[in-house]
Amino acid sequence: MELHLILIFMICTAIVAVEIKDLISSVIALSAVGLGLSLAFLILKAPNLAITQLVVEILCVIILIRATIDKDLPLVKDGRWLFNTISTFLFVSAFLFIVYFALRELPVFGQPLMRVSSEYIAVGSRETGASNIVSAITLNFRSYDALAEAVVLFTAIIGVLAVTRKIGKINEK
Amino acid sequence: MKSNQGGMTLIVKTVTRLTVGLILIYGIYIVLQGHLSPGGGFAGGVIIALSFIHLLLAFGKDTVLKRLNEARGLLLASIGAIIFLILATLGFMGKYYIFKPAREFELFGAGIMPLCDIAISLMVGMGLFVIFLALVLLIAEKKKR
Count of CB atoms situated within 10 Å of the CB of B4: 11
Task: List pLDDT tens digits, range A133-161.
Answer: 888 888 877 888 888 888 898 999 889 88
Contact A154 B132 (CB under 8 A): no
pTM: 0.80
Q: Could you tell me which of A60, A66, A63, A5 has the C-alpha nearest to residue A36?
A: A5
**HEC sequence for B52-67:** HHHHHHHHCHHHHHHH
Structural domain boundaries enclosing A4 = 1-72
Indicate whether A153 belongs to any domain: no
Cα–chain center distance at B94: 31
- Report, as an integer, the average pLDDT of B72-87: 89
Please report residues of A whose CB lies closer than 8 A to that of B131.
Answer: 63, 157, 160-161
Half-sphere exposure of A58 (CA within 13 A, CB side): 14
pLDDT at B105: 65
pLDDT at A170: 60
Q: Are A33 and A17 in contact (CB under 8 A)?
A: yes
Assign A79 a pLDDT band (cuts: 50, 70, 90).
Answer: low
| Interface check B136 vs A, CB under 8 A | yes
Per-window interface: B 35-94 vs A, CB < 8 A: 35-43, 46-47, 49-50, 53, 57, 70, 74, 77-78, 81, 84-85, 88, 91
Assign B2 a pLDDT band (cuts: 50, 70, 90).
Answer: very low
pLDDT at B4: 47
Please tell me the total count of domains within chain A.
1
Q: Which residues of A19-31 are buried (b: 16+ CB within 10 A; e: fewer)?
A: eeeeeeebbbbbb
Most confident of A40-49, A162-171, B133-142: A40-49
Q: Could you tell me which of A43, A168, A93 has the C-alpha nearest to residue B144?
A: A168
- Helix (DSSP H) and strand (DSSP E) numbers for chain B: 5, 0
Q: Torsion angle, CA of A12/A15/A21/A24, rounded to 10 degrees?
A: 70
Q: Return the DSSP state at B99.
A: G
Q: Which residue did the predictor score with more confidence, A98 or A130? A: A98
Q: Which residue did the predictor score with more confidence, A169 or A36? A: A36
CA atoms of B62 and A73, how far apart (whole Å): 30
pLDDT at B145: 72
Task: List pLDDT tens digits, range A110-124.
Answer: 777 778 888 888 887
Largest CA distance in chain B: 63
* CB pairs A-B closer than 8 Å: 152
Task: List pLDDT tens digits, range A24-49.
Answer: 888 889 889 999 999 999 998 888 88
Q: Which residues of A40-77 are buried (b: 16+ CB within 10 A; e: fewer)?
A: bbbeeebebbbbbbbbbbbbbbbbbebbeeeeeeeeee
